[in-house]
């Protein structure tokens, strides 16, 4: 491997599992210094520490401004800068709005949207000073379009998309790029706790799977590949993008014509 992120200091939230962990692992293999934040550590994170030239982990909640500030301050004290931010911390939730508890609504907004805001708020001053940086947020295809019962989650992820576009506009002339990855349905612990759960109707799960035009759910490593691109110099002229990495989920609606044409 070319180790094309050699020496780049990367702060990853939600780093202990799923997409955040996959991003940390990929960035470490590419030579980056990777520092993670999550509400709990995991055995898998140890693999990052073993493969990274330098790695660290902070226990903390993305909703906690003081915890995020402490993590960023520690990174700056040890490494002097943060080159890349990946905001992968997230939770799910939703339902028709008349059935959504305010507490649950607020929890999802606070983690998915406010947590992303706080992460960017903490790292932006250093990037502004150096006039360089890559802000990579993780939203969802459900931040690009509606979904049945998706009110809470979709609203939070739509907010992440718009926040990222605003950051691209605010910071572009300072050499800072801001881009948003919009994954389809990805096989992560969060996915398995909801869509992959035995209580979730198998027919509905298959219908969701088949809306991905590649006919399968995605893998965390495939999202990490997109994050690597957005962190690397290959994307030096890319900013303000909401990039679907979704197996064709948002390309259009499948209504059975493909089967009629024998293209299965």
Active site residues: 153
CA 40 to chain centre: 17
- Report the DSSP beta bridge partners of residue 178: 135
State the Cα–Cα distance between residues 168 and 148, nearest whole angstrom. Answer: 30
Q: What is the DSSP letter of 120?
A: H
**What is the β-pairing status of strands 133-138 and 242-245?**
unpaired
User: Is the sign of the CA dihedral 200, 204, 207, 211 positive or negative?
Assistant: negative
* Residue 12 CB contacts under 8 Å (≥ 6 apart), including other chains: 20, 23, 24, 27, 34, 35, 36, 37, 85, 86, 88
State the Cα–Cα distance between residues 259 and 54, nearest whole angstrom. Answer: 51
State the Cα–Cα distance between residues 255 and 250, nearest whole angstrom. Answer: 14
Q: Return the residue matching tokens 């990855």.
A: 181
Q: Given phi > 0 = left and psi -120 to 50 = alpha, else beta, which region is 59?
A: beta
Backbone angles phi, psi at 15, to 5 degrees: -80, -10
State the Cα–Cα distance between residues 28 and 10, nearest whole angstrom. Answer: 9
State the Cα–Cα distance between residues 173 and 126, nearest whole angstrom. Answer: 15
156 SS3 class: helix
């Amino acid at each position: 491997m070319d180790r094309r992120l050699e020496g780049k200091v990367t702060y990853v939230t939600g780093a202990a599992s799923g997409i955040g962990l996959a991003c940390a692992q990929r960035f470490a293999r590419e030579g980056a210094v990777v520092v993670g934040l999550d509400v709990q550590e995991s055995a898998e994170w140890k693999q990052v520490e073993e493969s990274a030239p330098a790695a660290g982990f902070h226990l903390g909640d993305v909703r906690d401004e003081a915890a995020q500030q402490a993590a960023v301050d520690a990174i700056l004290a040890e490494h002097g800068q943060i080159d890349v931010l990946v905001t992968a911390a997230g939770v799910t939730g939703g339902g028709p709005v008349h059935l959504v508890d305010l507490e649950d609504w607020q929890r999802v907004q606070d983690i998915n949207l406010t947590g992303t805001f706080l992460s960017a708020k903490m790292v932006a001053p250093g990037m502004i000073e150096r006039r360089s940086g890559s802000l990579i947020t993780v939203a969802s295809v459900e931040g690009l379009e509606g979904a049945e019962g998706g009110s809470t989650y979709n609203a939070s992820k739509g907010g992440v998309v718009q926040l990222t576009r605003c950051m691209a506009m605010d910071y572009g002339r300072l050499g800072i790029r801001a881009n948003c990855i919009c994954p389809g349905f990805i096989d992560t612990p969060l996915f398995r706790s909801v869509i992959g759960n035995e209580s979730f109707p198998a027919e509905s799960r298959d219908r969701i799977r088949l809306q991905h035009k590649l006919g399968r759910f995605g893998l965390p490593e495939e999202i990490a590949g997109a994050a690597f691109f957005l962190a690397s110099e290959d994307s030096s002229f890319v900013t303000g993008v909401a990039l679907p990495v979704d197996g064709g989920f948002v390309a259009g609606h499948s209504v059975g014509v493909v089967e009629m044409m024998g293209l299965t």
